[in-house]
Structure 1
Amino acid sequence: MGIESYLNHPTFGLLFRVCLIEEHQELFTTLYAQRLFFIVSNGSGGLQFDSISRADAKILVENRMRWLRRQGTPQEYTQLVAVHRQTFQ
């Protein structure tokens, strides 16, 4: 999780990776405003962008934080807490 990742959305331009949601799904946000959020799925048909609300994105990140804390991965957890603060507070 220490590596920054970016994707180019066909309409909204450069997206910044917030975190992994689950296997083959990641949460991205618009690079500058961080107001639009997308779940990006990587499947057999290529990348799929599904827009979600800011509130739903926050819930996904908080769920991921809880999962990381339970799994005992303190470095990833600490990094995600910092991303959460920067993005949602």
Structure 2
Amino acid sequence: MSTETYLNHPNFGLLFRVCMVEEGQELFATLYAQRLFFLVTNSATEGIVFQPLGRSNARQMLENRMRLLRRAGQQADYNQLQVTYKQTFQ
């Protein structure tokens, strides 16, 4: 079973999900080169909303999510996200 999630952006093409940020919010990056990041919010009133993010903001969101997982004791999810972090930002 694949855990990868993709979304088509109207201007930038295929995006892949980096991680969940909060309920209804996820961090996505462009598939090619992983240079552009978007906070994608799924709203009942507005539908899917793409908010562009800088690399440093995206990194901070991912680090915050890793902290939350570590504090919650979700070690398997934390380890998986740490691999994603290293692939994306290092």
TM-score of the two chains, using structure 2 as the length reference? 0.96
Unaligned runs of 5+ in 2: none
- Structure scoring higher RCO (CA < 8 A, sep ≥ 6) equals 1
Instruction: Find the counterpart in structure 2 of residue 24 from structure 1.
Output: 24
After superposition, residues 46-61 of structure 1 pair within 5 angstroms as: 46-61=47-62
CA distance in 2, matches of 1:12, 1:65: 27
Instruction: Find the counterpart in structure 2 of residue 88 from structure 1.
Output: 89
Instruction: Find the counterpart in structure 2 of residue 64 from structure 1.
Output: 65
* Counterpart amino acid of residue 36 in structure 2: L
CA distance in 1, matches of 2:63, 2:30: 19
Query: Deviating runs (4+, > 4 A) in structure 1?
Result: none
Partner SS state of residue 15, structure 2 = strand
* Counterpart amino acid of residue 82 in structure 2: V
Identity %: 58
1:38 matched to 2:38? yes
